[in-house]
Homo-oligomer: A and B are copies of this chain.
Amino acid sequence: MAQSRSRRSEPKAIVSDSNNTTGTRWLTANEQQTWRALMLTMQLLDGRLDRQLQRDAQMPHAYYGILVGLSEAPDNTCRMSDLATRLRYSQSRLTHAVASMERNGWVERRRCPDDRRSQLVTLNAAGRDALATAAPGHVTEVRAAVFDRLSSTQVGQLREICDTLLADLDPSSSDE
């Protein structure tokens, strides 16, 4: 079954660099197949989660992450930059997103008394409601798309693989 995929016709070389003038270490056929499978998986998984949340809860996946982040913070409150750091969002992205979520009535902002540069964002009752409404459908989708399909061995392997990649991808992975 996974076999059928390996029997696909080989993609031709991406670029004509037959004498490798650039000195690039190109991907092997096996790596290339894995890479394409990974990119496709990421693209389709992301699209599916986004579409489910947009359809059933009127929010993009990124906003769901913000709701979760706030719901786990003490007092449901967090400084903008702390939230951005935890979620690995750019400050600009978070500013735009929180502004939009404030318009939806899910969060509130106020100046931080200790440091007047900072803003404190708080998840309010409507926001908690929105999260509570969105969560079951989202988790069901995650189960259906991922955890119900993988053996527990595979889940363990996936975890190891992600942790390995994150050691390099995530600058703050060492100090948490």
Q: Which residues of A contact B (CB under 8 A)?
A: 1-2, 4-5, 8, 11-12, 14-17, 22, 24-27, 30-31, 33-35, 37-46, 48, 65, 68, 71-72, 88, 128, 131-132, 135-136, 139-140, 142-147, 149-150, 154-155, 157-170, 173-174, 176
Contact = CB atoms under 8 A, between A and B. Distances in A.
A112 to B, nearest CB: 23
Nearest to A4: B174
Given A167-B2, A168-B149, A27 B154 contact: no
Nearest to A176: B8
A69 to B, nearest CB: 10
Contact of A72 (B11, B16, B39): B11
B44 A88 contact: yes
B162 A14 contact: no
Contacts of A4: 174
A45 B38 CA distance: 11
Determine the main DSSP class of A at the interface with B: helix
Nearest to A132: B15
Given A2-B163, A15-B131, A46-B42, A30 B168 contact: no
A162 to B, nearest CB: 4
Given A27-B147, A142-B27, A159 B37 contact: yes
A78 to B, nearest CB: 14
B136 A149 contact: no
A157 B161 contact: yes
